[in-house]
Structure 1
Amino acid sequence: MAAVEQPGTAPSGLRGGLRRVEGSLRPRLREFRSWWTRSLASWLPARVRDLFGLSPQRLLLRRHGNELQLSLWRGDAERALAGLPVPEAGAAEADPLGSLLSPRIVEVPRWLVLPASAVLRRRLTLPAAAGERLREVLGFEIDRQTPFTAAEVSYDARLLGHRGDDQLEAELVVVPKATLEAALAALGALAPTLAGVDVADAGGRPLGVNLMTGAQRRLRGDPWRRRNLVLLLVAAAALFLGMWQMLANREAAADYFEQQVDEEVRQARGASLEKRQLVDLIEGGAFLQAARAGKPTMVEVMDELARRLPDDTYLEKLSVEGERILLIGLSREASALVGRLQGSPLWTDPALAGALQPDPRTRMDRFTLTAKLATAPAQAPGNAAARGAPDAAGGH
């Protein structure tokens, strides 16, 4: 709308106040109408919203090297579709994606999404009256806010929010025309099918701007959109009134049964958890008790070694890892150590690991000897748990 002022009809202060009120009220009314429409549409199933065109959809194209990533943007969610090679500019098909996508997705508007590094963004604070013609107003700020002129770039503006009644926050998004033309040329035969060019934010989501130049923009108006919206509202109201009575009759019964089910589920989960904890406690205690009882202690191993090794044998390292005993040391009778260690009830299979190495300093032989720690026969888990159940329960 354009307001025509005639001299002498109203004071200048009043005219300025009316323009400020008009500039700040219209964008908010549009935002309220958009929110109200989305809220009503959210009550309908997804198929119904798609049928009446109430779910905004975009086919997003992102280029990564020689591959073109396709994803479907519906509402506020994005779903990846496929990755395809970029079609060449001289492709025979008018629409290279026509034979690859389903008929419903082929008709979805296609948008090229540029990376965030390809554009320049500037955040500005403007009077609320600029909201009516935000893009035109920010076009005059290109020379001051960017190192480019208006003729060198393609740009768009987006409203970020209002600051009180007299100011608003906006963002200017600028891309050099050379960069945009190179991105469009890289798409080959897909470039003429684009409905717009958007930019990805830091999280990879589209900003909601259109950086295509005025000559390239395609403004598609649907003459049936308003009529379909009215019919949709009437159908939604009729459906709501028709279902209200049935929902009211079923609501009380559903709530009662839901409470009963929740209570029974809660009790069953509590009993199952307590039973599982008790079984784990009994089995764990029985396992630890059997493991400790079946293996000799370190003190017993050291005592047995002290009795069996000769006096001219010195140990540099003694370690027990699991069921393996490792001995490293010096001895004048290293070759006879295996025979001395055999027959012990605490270990089995003593053997030298590697060849003996003479030590010129001590005139002894360095040896590395291994053995397997003897353990008691393992008991059946059921018997161990049965014997440990009274003790574990009493201890707990």
Structure 2
Amino acid sequence: MESRSGLRGGLRRVEGSLRPRLRGFRQWWTRSLAAWLPARMRDLFGLSPQRLLLQPAEGGLQLALWRGEQVRTLAHVPLPPEVEQVDPLGRLLAPSMARVPRWLLLPGSAVLRRRLTLPAAAGDRLREVLGFEIDRQTPFTAADVSYDARPLGRRGDQLEAELVVVPRATLSAALAALGPLAPTLAGVDVAEADGSPLGVNLASGAARRRDDPSRGRNLILLLVALLALAAGMWQMLANREAAADFFAAQVEAEVERARSASLERRQLVDLIEGGAFLRAARAGRPTMVEVMDELARRLPDDTYLEKLSVEGDRILLIGLSREASALVARLQGSTLWSEPTLAGALQPDPRTRMDRFTLTATLNVADARPAARPATGGPDAAGGH
């Protein structure tokens, strides 16, 4: 049980120290973003801090607009009667001005201010710390005043702050003088010498807890920021998908080019191999000139050829000769052909008194098959022909 209570106490202390820091960071972030926008844009989106200041004056109220660290006097109006139930300023102000938060501005003589030096660690809970200093720094007790704390700056490990207190009786009298305007107030501040607000809120606890009038606008801005973030992330995802599709198309194009190059290389290798085969075939085959020269040397002078043809490896001779029966013996033993044979019977030719013969032989052709390529079909194999 003690460990649980200690853990809860530690969580409360962490939450109490983080909450003001997060609030300060949000305010700094909002001011930094608003500084990039023109004044009209800041006014349009409600990013410029502004207040409608109600300051008691002789016979009525002085209305002033505080915006962008500047105070502009608007009008002097009489105090509304206490019996009036509606907002008396709603009829006098424009709709946009009627929505501006209203603050009561007390004169500087109505409050008591004390400047204090505190440890820097007190900055996280400055108002609570200064609440314990009321009895020592002012002639009042904490129950008799409404107070607020204003940080002035840091100096090393010291924090300069100001304690501002107003007696509850004085504050109640000022609120009572406003009549029906008192419930419409967003806070109570103090006027400095130049008429600008000091920057504190001396309202009571109930008034301090009143809903922030700019909360709806802030929620809208937060929703717009979330939508913009989602749209940015979606656009980033779409860009990544488009880049992936582009790279996939590039890879497909490269693969197609590689496939085409491989096909062209295969065709080139086939052409080289075919050319090598033809060259080998020609090298192992006797030429027609060699065949005719060999026939001229072996055939007798009284032999005439009417037809000489070579089809594949078959030689066909048709002609007339006085020694036709001896032609087979004369043609044998040649290195250019083999198996010379008479095809059919000899036919005497009465006009020339010679015998017509038909003779065939087999042409000697060397093996024209090229050496076998390696199975891989690599560039070395292609380059060897």
Instruction: Name the residue aligned to 1:59.
Output: 52
* Structure 1 position 143 matched with structure 2 position 135: yes
TM-score by length of 1: 0.50
* Contact kept? 2:21, 2:124, Cα under 8 Å: no
- Per-residue deviation at 1:117? 0.3
**Residues 233-276 of structure 1: CA deviation (Å, up to 9, x unaligned):** 9979x9xxxxxxxxxxxxxxxxxxxxxxxxxxxxxxxxxxxxxx
* Structure 1 position 48 matched with structure 2 position 48: no
* Structure 1 position 191 matched with structure 2 position 164: no
- Per-residue deviation at 1:51? 3.2
How far apart, CA to CA, are the structure 1 residues paired with 2:89 and 2:217?
A: 27
User: In structure 2, the residue corresponding to 1:89 is in which secondary structure?
Assistant: coil
* Structure 1 position 160 matched with structure 2 position 147: no
- Per-residue deviation at 1:79? 1.4
Structure 1 40/216 Cα, relative in aligned 2: closer, same or farther at 3 Å? closer
* Contact kept? 2:152, 2:161, Cα under 8 Å: yes
Q: Structure 2 residue aligned with 1:174, among 161, 165, 168?
A: 165
How far apart, CA to CA, are the structure 1 residues paired with 2:19 and 2:172?
A: 35
Q: Structure 2 residue aligned with 1:75, among 46, 50, 68?
A: 68
How far apart, CA to CA, are the structure 2 residues paired with 1:80 and 1:151?
A: 35
Instruction: Name the residue aligned to 2:125.
Output: 133
Instruction: Name the residue aligned to 1:207.
Output: 198
- Higher-Rg structure is 2
Structure 1 runs not aligned, ≥5 long: 8-14, 239-396
How far apart, CA to CA, are the structure 1 residues paired with 2:133 and 2:67?
A: 33
How far apart, CA to CA, are the structure 2 residues paired with 1:117 and 1:6?
A: 46
Structure 1 54/234 Cα, relative in aligned 2: closer, same or farther at 3 Å? farther
- Per-residue deviation at 1:229? 4.5
- Per-residue deviation at 1:105? 0.6
* Contact kept? 1:122, 1:171, Cα under 8 Å: yes
Structure 1 220/28 Cα, relative in aligned 2: closer, same or farther at 3 Å? closer
* Structure 1 position 113 matched with structure 2 position 128: no
Instruction: Name the residue aligned to 1:95.
Output: 87
User: In structure 2, the residue corresponding to 1:148 is in which secondary structure?
Assistant: coil
How far apart, CA to CA, are the structure 1 residues paired with 2:143 and 2:26?
A: 35
How far apart, CA to CA, are the structure 1 residues paired with 2:59 and 2:225?
A: 44
User: In structure 1, the residue corresponding to 2:88 is in which secondary structure?
Assistant: coil
Q: CA RMSD for the aligned pairs? A: 3.0
User: In structure 2, the residue corresponding to 1:216 is in which secondary structure?
Assistant: helix
User: In structure 2, the residue corresponding to 1:215 is in which secondary structure?
Assistant: helix
- Per-residue deviation at 1:90? 1.3
Instruction: Name the residue aligned to 1:367.
Output: none
TM-score by length of 2: 0.51
- Per-residue deviation at 1:63? 1.0
* Contact kept? 1:62, 1:68, Cα under 8 Å: yes
Structure 1 49/229 Cα, relative in aligned 2: closer, same or farther at 3 Å? farther
Structure 1 223/147 Cα, relative in aligned 2: closer, same or farther at 3 Å? same
Structure 1 196/139 Cα, relative in aligned 2: closer, same or farther at 3 Å? same
* Structure 1 position 231 matched with structure 2 position 221: no
How far apart, CA to CA, are the structure 1 residues paired with 2:202 and 2:50?
A: 18
Number of residue pairs aligned between Structure 1 and Structure 2: 220
* Contact kept? 1:52, 1:232, Cα under 8 Å: no
- Per-residue deviation at 1:192? 1.5
